[in-house]
Structure 1
Amino acid sequence: MAMESLTQLVVVLFVAAIVGVFSIIFVLTWVFYYKEGLAWDEGLAEFNWHPVLIVVGFIFLQGIAIVVYRLPWTWQCSKLMMKFIHAGLNLLAFIFAIISLVAVFDFHNAAKIPNMYSLHSWLGLVAVILYCLQLVVGVGMFLIPVTSVSWRAAFMPLHAYSGLLLFTSVIAVALMGITEKLIFGLSDPKYKDSPPEALFVNALGVLLVVFGALVLWIATRPSWKRPSDQPSNTPHTNGGGEDNSKVDLSMPGTDTGLDVRRRNNKSEDQTG
């Protein structure tokens, strides 16, 4: 990777991390300053775990899991280790999402509020179910050594696309949720009167959109892939079933056919 491109990657990663951390600070400030804080008492404080865990887990951790392969300081790590880190972050995000759902259902049941009546709740549950499916299939396909290289290669584009689609969908559902909470939760003054809480939470929504946009930008730039993920013209599979078809031709010790021909020609000139 060219030094200029590497510098750009590091800058965008840093900005994305800052925006993500500020999103977490904003959601914590919202629940502690404008709401009743956090507790597990079937009241509003228990409900507050929902936005906190969604932002921290389902958005921030999922975003980190998406770009973890592109962190320059991890490029010396083995691909298998990075797969475990990627899966572990996604699993943690899924656990946070499940806990956040339990908090919502507990609060609704205690307050005699109907469950699953809003579009936000429908799409949110669908996102959690699909995320679980994505996690299970991803682990089965890429971490358990039972699938062939050809199967993994064929499934990878779908896995990457569905991951980005779910990440984008979760942010969209979160924006629906915080807007819904402001509309129902603010009465005097109302949401339409733009009280400080409404403006503050709107700013949180903007931060989530910016974080999502930066993660998508990082994840979709071909020039920012791990060096070992760059394709070569000499694919082969070793005896252990590992796919070595992706080799960085710019790495030391990697020979191309052109290099071999040049050395052969040089040897012939010296012996002739």
Structure 2
Amino acid sequence: MAVGINAMPVTFAAHALAVIAAIMVLVWNISYRGGLAWEAENKNLIFNLHPVLMLIGFVILGGEAIISYKSLPLEKPVKKLIHLILHAIALALGIWGICAAFKNHNESGIPNLYSLHSWIGIGVISLYAFQWVYSFVVFFFPGGSSNLRSGLLPWHAILGLFVYILAVGNAALGFLEKLTFLESGAKLDKYGAEAFLVNFTAIVTILFGSLVVLTASAKSPSSIDDADSYSYSAI
């Protein structure tokens, strides 16, 4: 059931938070952590790609994919295509971000997949990929029957939001994990500018994710009184 508000106004605040979160994570990794690189003697620069790609690529673009389908006043086929492409880009950048973390660990002699953040991360990216592939086949090409699409629609919506909420929560967990390492290993000032920047980036990320979920639960701006006007779907 839809929340009794229009999705369009909520998206304005969500877009603003997305821009703020993107700027904050870039400032953190470029100004405070030394920059970004795929090949570098300083392996920390490789790892810096991970939070940038996971936040901007996976969480923000993934959220924008959900928002786009619900809020854009466009024809359904156009919204489906935008929704599909944004999710594909989010998935690709998320995979790249995970590869950056593995590359950093392998070249630095750090074990892989030892933390709760990494376990949840692998689960989230796997579910995201599964969701995208089966949605492409059933809802886009070659496309399932009307009965099949109708039956899978509620599961598509529920699984999509579930995976997205997990992604946002795991992003916050990742910020906490990295900040804890910096404070204990690099002796980062717990009340310094960088610590506050990381914490506030996590807060803005959570707020953005909350608005994405609210948008998915709100009424579509479409004037057509059908099921898609009041539900989140990619059909």
TM-score (norm 2): 0.89
Counterpart in 2 of 1:13?
11
Counterpart in 2 of 1:128?
125
Counterpart in 2 of 1:92?
89
Is the Cα–Cα contact under 8 Å of residues 179 and 195 in structure 2 kept in the other structure? yes
Report matched runs for 1:15-164 at 5 Å. Answer: 15-41=13-39, 43-71=43-71, 74-75=72-73, 77-164=74-161
Q: Does 1:230 align with 2:229?
A: no
Whole-angstrom distance in 1 between the partners of 2:229 and 2:93: 36
- CA-to-partner distance for each residue in 1:24-64, whole Å, 9 max, x for gaps? 00000000111010111251111111000111111110111
- Matched residue of 2:112: which SS? coil
Give the counterpart of 2:168 among 168, 171, 188: 171
2:51 maps to a residue whose letter is: P
Whole-angstrom distance in 1 between the partners of 2:158 and 2:203: 24
2:36 maps to a residue whose letter is: L
TM-score (norm 1): 0.77
Counterpart in 1 of 2:205?
208
- Matched residue of 2:224: which SS? helix
1:35 maps to a residue whose letter is: R
Residue 70 of structure 1: CA displacement? 2.5
- Matched residue of 2:111: which SS? coil
Is the Cα–Cα contact under 8 Å of residues 189 and 195 in structure 1 kept in the other structure? no
Whole-angstrom distance in 2 between the partners of 1:87 and 1:156: 15
Q: Give the number of the structure whose alpha-carbon radius of gyration is greater.
A: 1
Counterpart in 1 of 2:233?
none
Whole-angstrom distance in 2 between the partners of 1:87 and 1:39: 29
Q: 1:229 to 1:100 in 2, by over 3 A?
A: farther
1:58 maps to a residue whose letter is: F
List alignment gaps of at least 5 residues for structure 1: 232-245, 249-272
Whole-angstrom distance in 2 between the partners of 1:129 and 1:67: 22
Q: Where do 4+ consecutive residues of structure 1 move more than 6 Å?
A: none
- Percent identity between matched residues is 34
2:16 maps to a residue whose letter is: I
Residue 102 of structure 1: CA displacement? 1.1
Whole-angstrom distance in 2 between the partners of 1:137 and 1:170: 19
- CA-to-partner distance for each residue in 1:110-166, whole Å, 9 max, x for gaps? 110000000100000010011000000000110024411011011001001111111
- Matched residue of 2:31: which SS? helix
1:22 maps to a residue whose letter is: I
Q: 1:185 to 1:229 in 2, by over 3 A?
A: farther
Residue 203 of structure 1: CA displacement? 0.3
1:59 maps to a residue whose letter is: V
Cα RMSD (Å): 2.0
Is the Cα–Cα contact under 8 Å of residues 69 and 225 in structure 1 kept in the other structure? no
Question: Which of the pair has the greater relative contact order for Cα pairs under 8 Å at 6+ separation?
Answer: 2
Residue 227 of structure 1: CA displacement? 3.2
List alignment gaps of at least 5 residues for structure 2: 231-235
- Matched residue of 1:227: which SS? coil
- CA-to-partner distance for each residue in 1:48-91, whole Å, 9 max, x for gaps? 110001111111101110011232xx42x331221111110000
